[in-house]
């Protein structure tokens, strides 16, 4: 296939580029690098089946040549990013989603929306199934991201009904792995950076709130399976193993060999207290299940974050060698 990936220079988007190139697909990555990193795709810049277009998908765009599938991953995704880029987050969830859908419809291409577990808000039902409508504060500090994704889902379904778009939706739960930005505000990257720097690990609240952490390779397999299907979904993609934030901190200290202490801070407003996906639908319909345990995933992620590591050093060197404006 020839696949267009919006947000192709981001954490998840770049891993999806890699997965599709490995299996022989052609990839066109679009990114304005407002939160993505050129270093994430620097290693494939000369690949004969890879093309990078610097573009803001909230503006109308076209892609020349055949398009067999569109994966819409473009969006700020961490709290510091979508707080800083609040209007841009709403725009990419609305105009950006519609522009990506229009591209798919024009080429009769498969469309997959990367939605999020944030559509469930601070869930009143646990664990979360796809038929749960959520508990979202529409004017809270997280609302720009939550509501942008909820609108994007509604738009995707409307295009499937009205425009006969072959569209599908995946809801992504907390994902971690190499290429996360050290200062992106996500809990895994924050804990690893603090542990490697010998700083206290910052825990908001008492650390009893839970998340379910999925390693990036597992998540990408789910997105690829969705691209290859004709199903609407939505499908939860995440690891159903639930852990407290305090337990994660201990796992990170063990993975890094750090003796960093723990520092407790007030819990942010609207921070979800529990988060765990039910993935039975994805298991049944997509044949997908997460495979990589968190201790192994953290080991791989710490190896990438470690100062002077071959992975992080090579990525930075390739980024510096990229042409200006690439």
Looking at residue 268, what is its pLDDT? 87
Where on the phi/psi map is residue 222: left (φ > 0), alpha (ψ -120 to 50), or beta? Answer: alpha
Looking at residue 321, what is its pLDDT? 40
| pLDDT of 318 over the 70 cut | no
Residue 134, domain member (yes or no):
yes
| pLDDT of 310 over the 80 cut | no
Strand ranges (E), the chain: 2-6, 26-31, 50-54, 69-72, 110-116, 166-172, 175-176, 201-204, 210-211, 214-215, 235-237, 243-244, 262-265
Residue 158, domain member (yes or no):
yes
Give CA–CA dist 215/196, Å, rounded. 20
pLDDT in tens, 33-52: 999 999 999 999 999 999 99
pLDDT in tens, 64-119: 999 999 999 999 999 999 999 999 999 999 999 999 999 999 999 999 999 999 99
Looking at residue 138, what is its pLDDT? 96
Residue 234, domain member (yes or no):
yes
Nearest to 206 by CA among 122, 125, 263, 142: 263
Give CA–CA dist 206/116, Å, rounded. 25
User: Going by DSSP bridges, is the β-strand pair 110-116/210-211 parallel, antiparallel, or unpaired?
Assistant: unpaired
Looking at residue 317, what is its pLDDT? 43
What residues act catalytically? Answer: 145
Residue 325, domain member (yes or no):
no
Residues with Cβ within 8 Å of residue 198, at least 6 apart in sequence: 258, 260
Query: Please, is 269 exposed, middle or buried when counting C-beta atoms within 10 Å of its C-beta (0-12, 13-18, 19+)?
Result: exposed
pLDDT in tens, 171-181: 999 999 999 99
Looking at residue 143, what is its pLDDT? 96
Q: What is the mean pLDDT of the chain?
A: 94
Which CATH number covers residue 286? 3.40.50.720
Looking at residue 128, what is its pLDDT? 98
| pLDDT of 320 over the 90 cut | no
Confidence of residue 270 (pLDDT cuts 50, 70, 90): confident
Give CA–CA dist 166/1, Å, rounded. 15
Q: By residue range, what is the domain housing residue 77?
A: 2-320
Nearest to 31 by CA among 47, 62, 53, 4: 53
pTM (predicted TM-score): 0.94
Q: In this structure, are residues 18 and 85 in contact, taking their beta carbons and an 8 Å threshold? A: no
pLDDT in tens, 6-37: 999 999 999 999 999 999 999 999 999 999 99
The total domain count for the chain is: 1
| pLDDT of 312 over the 60 cut | no
Residue 160, domain member (yes or no):
yes
| pLDDT of 307 over the 90 cut | no
Secondary structure letter of residue 174 according to DSSP: -
Residue 189, domain member (yes or no):
yes
Mean pLDDT, range 212-232, rounded to an integer = 98
């Amino acid at each position: 296939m020839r696949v267009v990936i919006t947000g192709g220079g981001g954490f998840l988007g770049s891993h999806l580029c890699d997965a599709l190139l490995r299996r022989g697909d052609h990839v066109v990555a679009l990114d304005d690098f407002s939160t993505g990193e050129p270093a994430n795709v620097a290693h494939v810049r000369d690949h004969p089946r890879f093309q990078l277009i610097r573009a803001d998908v909230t503006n109308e765009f076209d892609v020349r040549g055949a398009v067999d599938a569109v994966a819409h991953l473009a969006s700020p995704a961490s709290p510091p990013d979508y707080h800083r880029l609040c209007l841009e987050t709403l725009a990419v969830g609305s105009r950006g989603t519609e522009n990506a859908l229009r591209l798919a419809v024009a080429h009769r291409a498969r469309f997959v929306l990367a939605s999020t577990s944030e559509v469930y808000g601070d869930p009143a039902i646990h664990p979360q199934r796809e038929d749960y409508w959520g508990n979202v504060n529409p004017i809270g500090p997280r609302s720009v991201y939550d509501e942008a994704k909820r609108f994007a889902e509604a738009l995707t379904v409307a295009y499937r009904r009205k425009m006969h778009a072959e569209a599908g939706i995946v809801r992504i739960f907390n994902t971690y792995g190499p290429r996360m930005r050290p200062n992106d505000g996500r809990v895994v990257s924050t804990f690893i950076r603090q542990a490697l720097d010998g700083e206290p690990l910052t825990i908001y609240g008492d650390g009893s709130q839970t998340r379910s952490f999925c390693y990036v390779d597992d998540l990408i397999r789910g997105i690829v399976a969705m691209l290859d299907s004709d199903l609407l979904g939505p499908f939860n993609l995440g690891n159903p193993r639930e852990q407290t934030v305090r337990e994660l901190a201990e796992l990170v200290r063990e993975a890094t060999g750090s003796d960093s202490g723990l520092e407790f801070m007030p819990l942010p407003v609207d921070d979800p207290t529990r988060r765990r996906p039910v993935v039975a639908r994805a298991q049944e319909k997509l044949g997908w299940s997460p495979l990589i345990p968190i201790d192994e995933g953290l080991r791989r992620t710490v190896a990438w974050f470690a100062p002077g590591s071959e992975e992080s050093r090579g990525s930075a060197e390739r980024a510096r060698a990229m042409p200006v404006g690439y």
